[in-house]
Amino acid sequence: MGARIGSVIDDSRLPELSNDEISRYSRHLLLPEIGMEGQRRLRAAKVLIVGTGGLGAPLALYLAAAGVGTLGIVDFDFVEASNLQRQIIHGVRDIDRPKVASARDRIKGINPDVNVVEHMTRLSSGNALEIMRGYDVVADGTDNYPTRYLVNDACVLLGIPNVYGSIFQFEGQASVFYAKEGPCYRCLYPAPPPPGLVPSCAEGGVMGVLPGVVGTIQAGEVIKLITGGDGGLVGRLLLFDAWRMKFRELRLEKDPVCPICGENRSIHELVDYEQFCGLRPAQGEAPVESLTALELKARLDAGDAIQIIDIREPHERAIAAFPGAKPIPLGQMARRIDEFDQDIDAVFLCKIGQRSIFAIRALREAGYKGRLLNLQDGVNAWARDIDRGMPQY
């Protein structure tokens, strides 16, 4: 069981509940662990949800239903058809709408009394502290390492608890990183994985119900932080495998040499998280040359000699095969270097043009001297701009 850490809400500013609110939240009021005081704390609370995707959807829906007074939502993206398999806060009619607008309408449809604050922007080192300041809890629903480290560091600097969740394929994680009471995200993951080692959900896939489970766990943790409930996930990492239907738990300890929450911290301000996670080329490293689908089509029509290398795995190529491409999965790239003709341009492709960049860098590191090109935006760009009969996924 997690330790009781008390409510993050200042009880001096608790509002009274109307008769309508007492009726609406009666099932909460009947719970002695929440009761009138806990519901008043929920009404007073301000929670920021970073991302309104798979995790942000159940977070926003359940926190709105629970009566959280103010919900801030941060997202710069627009709703796509591929989101609807798991992002249940959006619907078909919302395709091409800003996610924050779609989420706002759905939140208001559940509970019109919730104050929704929209932040339609990409969270960055330049705006994170300004956006997050004034919220009682931050719930991290992001899907990339730079933003996770950014959210963590901003929460530590502001003294705000960070309710963390992550998902990939069939597995999810959840914890509460609250430097005042326990470890932070950097205590668990001092350094990010090498670029390209862990693909995003857009590249690796995710079981549709998984974010519903993990996001709902996060929502429960937010409610406990607000109402002062014990048994929370501070100092604990919950692991969930939806395919095998198993939960596991790891104890987390505060790292005394953590650079941001340790005894002699070295990080006192937000940094460049793209660079920290190795997503920017190293100093002196040649940039990866790319070409668009239209440019590749023009070269093929002109009869240019080109090697087209498809780095996707077999199950992914079965979704949308690329004509004339040689399949060499990313993990086999360096050891199959002898299969390339270094006198002929080689074009690398994947789903969205990200993993193929890492394939090119791997070949360079292995000593390949020929010209290497990346298909910008990958197979999806070819389906969008050249072959409309090919599915985008």
Residue 350 a catalytic site member: yes
82 inside domain:
yes
**What's residue 244's pLDDT?**
97
Q: What CATH number corresponds to the domain at position 367?
A: 3.40.250.10
Which three-class secondary structure state does DSSP give residue 121?
Answer: coil
260 inside domain:
yes
**What's residue 24's pLDDT?**
98
201 inside domain:
yes
The answer to whether residue 194 scores a pLDDT higher than 90 is no
179, 259: one domain:
yes
The answer to whether residue 283 scores a pLDDT higher than 70 is no
The answer to whether residue 1 scores a pLDDT higher than 60 is no
Angle at 154 between CA 153 and CA 155, to 5 degrees: 90
* Last residue within a domain, chosen from 224, 254, 276: 276
198 inside domain:
yes
**What's residue 281's pLDDT?**
61
**What's residue 228's pLDDT?**
93
345, 238: one domain:
no
Nearest to 125 by CA among 164, 145, 151, 144: 151
105, 216: one domain:
yes
299, 171: one domain:
no
Total domain count for the chain?
Answer: 2
**Domain of 185, in residue numbers:** 11-276
325, 254: one domain:
no
Q: Are strands 137-140 and 345-349 parallel, antiparallel or unpaired?
A: unpaired
The Cβ of residue 4 has, within 10 Å, a number of other Cβ atoms equal to: 13
What the block records as the tokens of 5 is 């850490």
163 inside domain:
yes
157 inside domain:
yes
> What secondary structure does DSSP assign to 189-208, as a single string?
-SSPPPTTSS--HHHH-B-T
Which tens digit of pLDDT belongs to each residue from 12-70? 889 999 999 999 999 999 999 999 999 999 999 999 999 999 999 999 999 999 999 99
246, 351: one domain:
no
Choice among 155, 201, 258, 277 that is catalytic: 201
Spatial distance between the Cα atoms of 148 and 140, rounded to a whole number of angstroms? 7
In this structure, are residues 270 and 150 in contact, taking their beta carbons and an 8 Å threshold? yes
356, 380: one domain:
yes
* Last residue within a domain, chosen from 247, 276, 305: 276
Which tens digit of pLDDT belongs to each residue from 75-126? 999 999 999 999 999 999 999 999 999 999 999 999 999 999 999 999 999 9
- The average pLDDT across 202-218 equals 94
**Crossing angle between the packed helical segments 35-44 and 210-227, to the nearest 10 degrees:** 110
2 inside domain:
no
Residue with tokens 């959006």: 90
In this structure, are residues 264 and 257 in contact, taking their beta carbons and an 8 Å threshold? yes
Which tens digit of pLDDT belongs to each residue from 233-270? 999 999 999 999 999 999 999 999 999 999 999 999 99
251, 297: one domain:
no
Residue 155 a catalytic site member: no
330, 266: one domain:
no
* Last residue within a domain, chosen from 244, 276, 308: 276
143, 246: one domain:
yes
Which tens digit of pLDDT belongs to each residue from 331-366? 888 889 999 999 999 999 999 998 999 899 889 989
Give long-range contacts, CB 8 A cutoff, 24+ apart: 378-384. 378/349, 378/350, 378/351, 378/352, 378/353, 378/354, 379/310, 379/312, 379/320, 379/322, 379/349, 379/350, 379/351, 380/351, 380/352, 381/292, 381/293, 381/353, 382/293, 382/296, 382/322, 382/349, 383/320, 384/293
**What's residue 227's pLDDT?**
96
The answer to whether residue 3 scores a pLDDT higher than 60 is no
174 inside domain:
yes
Any idea what DSSP says for residue 169? B
Q: What CATH number corresponds to the domain at position 79?
A: 3.40.50.720
Mean pLDDT of the chain: 94
112, 25: one domain:
yes
Phi/psi class of residue 113: alpha, beta or left (left: φ > 0; alpha: ψ in -120 to 50)? alpha
The answer to whether residue 9 scores a pLDDT higher than 80 is yes
Which three-class secondary structure state does DSSP give residue 5?
Answer: coil
83, 199: one domain:
yes
